[in-house]
Amino acid sequence: MSKYTFRSIEEKWQNYWAQNQTFAAKNDAVGQPKFYVLDMFPYPSGAGLHVGHPLGYIASDIYARYKRHKGFNVLHPQGYDSFGLPAEQYAIQTGQHPSKTTQENIARYREQLDRMGFSFDWQREVRTSNPDYYRWTQWIFIQLYDSWYDTVQDKARSISDLIAIFEQAGSGALNEDLNAVLMQNLPEELTSFNAEQWQGFTPEQKETILSEFRLTYLAESEVNWCPALGTVLANDEIVNGVSERGGHPVVRKKMKQWSMRITAYAQRLLDGLENIDWPEPLKESQRHWIGRSQGASVRFDIKGHQGQIEVFTTRPDTIFGVSFLTLAPEHELVAALTTPEHKEAVEAYVTASAQRSERERMADVKTISGVFTGAYAIHPLSGVQLPIWIGDYVLAGYGTGAVMAVPCGDQRDFDFAKHFDLPIPNIFKDISIENEAYALKDPCIIDQSDFLSGLNYAQACLAAIKALEDCGHGHGTINYRLRDAVFSRQRYWGEPFPVYYKNGMPQMIDPEHLPIVLPEVDAYLPTEDGDPPLGRADQWAWDTEAHCVVAKELIDNKTVFPLELNTMPGWAGSSWYFFRYMDPNNQSEFASAQALDYWGSVDLYIGGSEHATGHLLYSRFWVKFLFDRGFIGVDEPFKKLINQGMILGESAFVYRSADGKQLVSAGRIKDYDAQILQSVHCDVAMVSLTNELDLEQFVAWRPEYNSAEVITEADGTFKVKREVEKMSKSKFNVVNPDDICDQYGADTLRLYEMFLGPLEQSKPWSTAGITGVHGFLKKLWKLYHSGDVESFCVSEQRPSSDALKVLHKTIKKVNADIQEFSFNTSVSTFMIAANELTALKSNQREILEPLAVLIAPYAPHIAEELWALMGHKQSIAAVAYPEHDEKYLVEATKTYPISFNGKTRFTLELAMDLSKEQIEAAVMADERTIAQLQGGTPKKVIVVPGKIVNIVG
RNA sequence: GCAGAAGUGGUGGAAUUGGUAGACACGCUGGACUUAAAAUCCAGUGGACAGAAAUGUCCGUACGGGUUCAAGUCCCGUCUUCUGUACCA
């Protein structure tokens, strides 16, 4: 009866927690502090969970349980990021509806998660593909569409405010930044208008202007289009200019797509990083992604031409070092500028670089290429004529797609100038630019630069900007690398847009008629015309009278209109899900003000670092937007973030000869020419802990080796070679947590995953050490049991001071460890405690009750069982976490009374813990120090066994 | 190239943040129990040298310097490995 039967214990308590709603969070806990612990929710893939997935969940669960013991009202929910590509790919191949696949996968995930004893509040589960959920994703989209960013108040406001401004005062009421927006993309007649002119614009003209301000807008943007596959590909789906799957050619194609104006928030996204507790590397990569650089915008007039070329530079101090301009091949002025005699060469160059993929261009940085346009720009300060070149080292996507080339100060400009034999004026005093450009800003003086000569970098920048502003050819500015985010996907399995088109203009559907539910289609592929999969839906038109989705054939462009065919990207649903957990069943709002106010932001967020510039940036953007518009009260979603490391797999390789006729054991490969041997993955399930392969199983799995000659080790075994790789189905190195739970139990799995090493570090999975952790749990169990029959036995006697010391030492360490997220060392601490208490044969209630609570966050099942055996009726989850008492830890203090020569007493503060005997021996042994000791009471005495090293004070 | 993190026994990893390096665990070796195996328990386990033994001495935290009574920890330089990112003007 009383062996540690983990299977039945774990099942019992998992059922108990589910039935009693032990971990339900309250939205109205008066007077109780709240704590919100969140995991990055998973995409439910068909492969199920492997042992790497739970690592972060175990850590967050320990913390959540710990906080409950500490008296917090803890919100610890879980859900699914259930829109996504794999389910759609599977649908394309099999015709099975992605929603069915997704539901099956979720069921499997849930089963696996339940076995590990997580304290999730499942009442609050959310799924991004659920219409009740994406209804609010659509709602947020509409709010973004109905908003603009006011750079004066530095926040998003309703678009109706902007319309009111235009109606009252026209575009003149806008500040400089906002006016610049008007100048950028609009036809000239719309760039400046007064109130009457605004009133006179057609609705289309008004909309064209407004869409320059809306936080989500339709724009022509470039995509990677693969005609053969009939779909758009992401950058990482393209390898060497052809599609990863099938190797079909990919072209860049402009398509009308929704974009998110995240650039409006660039500065605030940067500033916000200062106030959140995130790992520095992750903040660093967000900073880099946002890529703020300060400099100047300079406009060059063009000889014999109307327009201007605008460039961005971080070095306005080098303005007199400019010897030519370079445009990106895609620059809009290229065609207009090029003189007839250079037309042919320029066109050839532009076509050639258009055919090179972006990746190719980036990879190939060494080759210098370019072509002269025949046109000249006028230097705004000196009036000198500067040749205008085209070069593909200038990127269309950064800055203005044009640079002022300063060969003496920039290595790329220098190389370009050398290659095409362009002048390289030196504007740095006493610095040689014979062989390379001088790119440093600091210890140099500007020379040969008119009024800038003699100034240093900072002075020259200010003076140059002032001069440019005075002559109307530039101004100081800040440039960001961050681009607006394309928000349309030509896919089926994503949120439909709440948008229909009236005369080609997008219209939002009234939020009260949401959700717009994903329609049925006959296949999950694009249409023959290249429309996205939603183009196949029959029921896909909007009836503006009945306010519902109707059949496409009813479209009459009077009351029934076509709906948007794109869907939203994966990050749409994941950018706000953490708010939905607060009030998951709300039918009238995405969450109630009361719930949002109570829970605020996520106190602790645990997940992988791969989301640094995706999910974690977009979420911050949406949260700041929702904050601006007054829907929520916080402007950062995640106060503290921890990246758990990845658990890697240990792949196993079998060596075979190239013709497959021989299999060679790992220890014998040195006898063979390495050239002719190949390694192939084999399933780790067929390999023992000593790397021995079960050949029978292997041959059954791979019958092609049925007749192969097997070269074994001397002892007749066949060994594989191990290598650490990412865990993946295709590498046959996946370890399923279910198997571990079957063999050792969930508590062992939880402790072992923590024991493997620091949470934030990546580490290979190896089952080798798991028996140690399992043995510890058995030892713990035995502490509460006695005798040969191992019956439950806890003594009511007072424990010894040694036992109390062990307990309080453990309490102190574990409390400190949890607060620092060093879960690995607290597992060791538990093991030490169990060893010491076993040695002391200490089984008193006063020791064993706190011990059970202490371990409950880590190994909740066994803790609950022991707690119940000790006669408690309520779950251990509600018990206060033990606090240590210093009085049991006397030896940890560093103050010792010392007497020698029979009479004198001193109180010494020591640099390390030593016994009284050791200190006295040291004092007596060191005659040199006795005089010093007699002179007063030293502050600090450095003692190592046997001698005193130093006395301070 | 740039940025960030790291380098400790056969292995995973500890080290109170400057105080006896190698906790804890795996593995290995020996022992107890057993007909035997498994399980369990006990002991040993960084290296070298000396000793029958307890024990002692020296060397040891990637490498080379430095600061300090004292350095895995702090400073300078070098090497290596990961992880991002990249013609960013």
Q: What confidence tens digit (pLDDT) does each residue in A270-327 have?
A: 999 988 999 888 888 899 889 898 889 999 999 888 889 999 999 999 999 999 999 9
CA of A404: nucleotide with nearest C1': B89
Q: Are A320 and A428 in contact (CB under 8 A)?
A: no
What pLDDT, on the 0 to 100 scale, is given for residue A1? 41
Q: Minimal CA–CA distance to A718: which of A745, A748, A687? A: A687
Nucleotide with minimal C1' distance from the CA of A758 is B13
Give the CA diameter of chain A: 111
Q: C1' nearest to CA of A316: which nucleotide?
A: B89
CA at A914, C1' at B31: how many angstroms apart? 34
Beta bridge partners of A709: A662
Whether residue A125 is predicted with pLDDT greater than 80 in this model: the reply is yes
Which has more pLDDT, A774 or A173? A774
- Closest residue to B41 (CA to C1') is A779
Which nucleotide is at minimal CA–C1' distance from A836?
B24
pLDDT at A929: 57
Nearest protein residue to the C1' atom of B13, measured from CA = A757
**pLDDT tens-digit map of A899-912:** 555 444 555 555 55
CA of A896 and C1' of B24: distance in angstroms? Answer: 30
Structure-token pair, residue A777? 């749990």
CA distance A52 to A106: 18
Which residues are CB-contacts of A659 (< 8 A; sequence separation ≥ 6)?
none
Burial string for A116-143 (b: 16+ CB within 10 Å, else e) reads bbbbbbbebbbbbbbeebbbbbbbbbbb
Q: Give how far the C-alpha of residue A311 lies from the chain's centroid of Cα atoms, to the nearest Å.
A: 33
- pTM listed for this prediction: 0.90
- Please give the pLDDT value at position A3: 79
Q: A242: which strand partners?
A: A239, A249
As a rounded value in angstroms, the CA-to-C1' distance for A761 and B59 is 32
Distance of alpha carbon A109 from alpha carbon A117, whole angstroms = 13
- Considering chain A, what is the average pLDDT of its residues? 86
Measured between alpha carbons, how far is A623 from A414 in angstroms, rounded to an integer?
44
Q: Long-range contacts for A811-820 (Cβ within 8 Å, ≥24 apart)?
A: A811/A850, A811/A854, A811/A882, A811/A883, A811/A884, A812/A884, A812/A889, A814/A854, A815/A881, A815/A883, A815/A884, A818/A62, A818/A63, A818/A66, A818/A857
Separation between the CA of A711 and the C1’ of B36 (whole angstroms): 32
Q: How far is the CA of A765 from the C1' of B81 (A)?
A: 19
Q: Provide DSSP, A482-509.
A: --PEE--BS-SSSPBPSEEEETTEEEEP
CA of A839 to C1' of B41 (A): 12
**Can you say how many angstroms the Cα of residue A248 is from the centroid of all Cα atoms in its chain?**
31
How many Å apart are A787 CA and B44 C1'? Answer: 29
CA–C1' A933–B70 (A): 20
Strands A677-682 and A647-657: antiparallel
In angstroms, the CA of A394 and the C1' of B59 are apart by: 58
Query: Can you tell me the distance from the alpha carbon of A649 to that of A401, in angstroms, rounded to the nearest whole number?
Result: 44
Q: Residue A369: which nucleotide is closest by CA–C1'?
A: B87
Compute φ and ψ for A646, nearest 5 degrees.
-85, 140
**pLDDT at A365 (0 to 100):** 61
Render pLDDT for A75-100 as a digit per residue (tens, 0 to 9). 999 999 999 888 988 898 899 999 99
pLDDT of residue A398: 86
Q: Give the mean pLDDT of A23-45.
A: 92
Do A792 and A785 touch, CB atoms closer than 8 A?
yes
How large is the C-alpha radius of gyration of chain A? 35
> By mean pLDDT, which of A60-69, A91-100, A497-506, A640-649 is the weakest?
A640-649
Residues β-bridged to residue A940 = A952
Which alpha helices (H) appear in A274-398, and where do they start and end?
280-290, 334-337, 343-355, 358-363
Residue nearest to nucleotide B26 (CA to C1'): A769
Looking at residue A112, its pLDDT comes to 95
Nucleotide with smallest C1' distance to residue A774 CA: B25
Average pLDDT over every residue of A696-703: 85
Q: What pLDDT score was predicted for residue A817? A: 92
Whole-number Å distance, CA A916 to C1' B9? Answer: 33
Distance A766 CA to B78 C1' (A): 35
pLDDT category, A894, cuts 50, 70, 90? very low
- The nt closest to A402 (CA vs C1′) is B89
What does the pLDDT look like over A501-526, one tens digit per residue?
Answer: 998 899 999 999 989 999 999 999 88
The residue lying closest to nucleotide B68, measuring its CA against C1', is A950
Residue A396, nucleotide of least CA–C1' distance: B88
**What is residue A246's predicted lDDT score, i.e. its pLDDT?**
65
DSSP A187-205: -GGGSS--HHHHHHS-HHH
Bases in strand B with any atom closer than 7 Å to a protein CB: 3-5, 11-16, 19-20, 23-27, 40-42, 69-70, 82-89
Q: Is A250 left (phi over 0), alpha (psi -120 to 50) or beta?
A: beta
Contact A734, A681 (CB under 8 A): no
Q: Distance in angstroms, CA of A875 to C1' of B38?
A: 37
Residue scoring higher pLDDT (A127 or A696): A127
* Nearest nucleotide relative to A689: CA against C1': B27
**What confidence score (pLDDT) does residue A38 get?**
96
- The per-residue pLDDT for A910 is 58
Task: Count CB atoms within 10 A of the CB of residue A634.
Answer: 17
Nucleotide whose C1' lies closest to the alpha carbon of residue A825 = B14
How confident is the model over A588-621, as pLDDT tens digits? Answer: 999 999 999 999 999 999 998 888 888 999 999 9
More confident residue, A531 or A231: A531
Residue A39 has pLDDT above 50, yes or no: yes
pLDDT value at residue A575: 94
pLDDT tens per residue, range A714-746: 667 787 777 777 887 778 888 889 989 998 999
Checking each nucleotide's C1' against the CA of A293, the nearest proves to be: B88
Q: What is the per-residue pLDDT for A4? A: 86
In the predicted model, what is the mean pLDDT of residues A231-251? 64
Q: What are the residue ranges of helices labelled H in A485-630?
A: 570-574, 577-580, 593-599, 615-628
Looking at residue A903, its pLDDT comes to 46
Q: Name the closest residue (CA) to the C1' of nucleotide B20.
A: A944
Protein residue minimizing CA–C1' distance to B25: A772
Confidence at residue A777, expressed as pLDDT on a 0 to 100 scale: 93
Å separating the CA of residue A840 from the C1' of nucleotide B53: 30
Q: Which of A102-116, A204-218, A682-696, A769-783 has the lowest mean pLDDT?
A: A682-696
User: In this structure, what token pair is assigned to residue A118?
Assistant: 């997580």
Estimate in Å the CA A909 to C1' B37 gap, whole number.
57
* C-beta of residue A65 within 8 angstroms of C-beta of residue A119: yes
Q: Which nucleotide lies closest to A356 by the C1' atom and the CA atom? A: B87
Query: For residue A840, what are the contacts with CB-CB under 8 A and spacing of at least 6?
Result: A800, A802, A803, A806
Q: CA at A789, C1' at B33: how many angstroms apart?
A: 17
Through-space separation of residue A357 CA and nucleotide B69 C1' in angstroms = 64
Asked whether the predicted pLDDT for residue A924 surpasses 80, the reply is no
User: By the 8 A CB rule, do A80 and A842 touch?
Assistant: no
Q: Which of A93-97, A369-373, A784-788 has the lowest mean pLDDT?
A: A784-788
> Residue A749: what pLDDT?
94
CA dihedral A339, A404, A367, A241 (to 10 degrees): -80
| pLDDT mean over A211-234 | 79
d(CA A834, CA A779): 7
Which nucleotide is nearest to A280 if distance is taken from CA to C1'?
B4
Whether the predicted pLDDT of A893 surpasses 50: no
Helices (H), A170-243: 176-185, 195-200, 203-210
Q: Which of A755, A756, A751, A802 is nearest to A780 (CA)?
A: A751
Express each pLDDT in A418-438 by its tens digit.
889 999 998 888 887 878 888
| Rounded distance in angstroms from the CA atom of residue A283 to the C1' atom of nucleotide B4 | 10
Question: Is the confidence at residue A669, as pLDDT, over 80?
Answer: no
- Least confident range from A124-138, A542-556, A775-789: namely A775-789
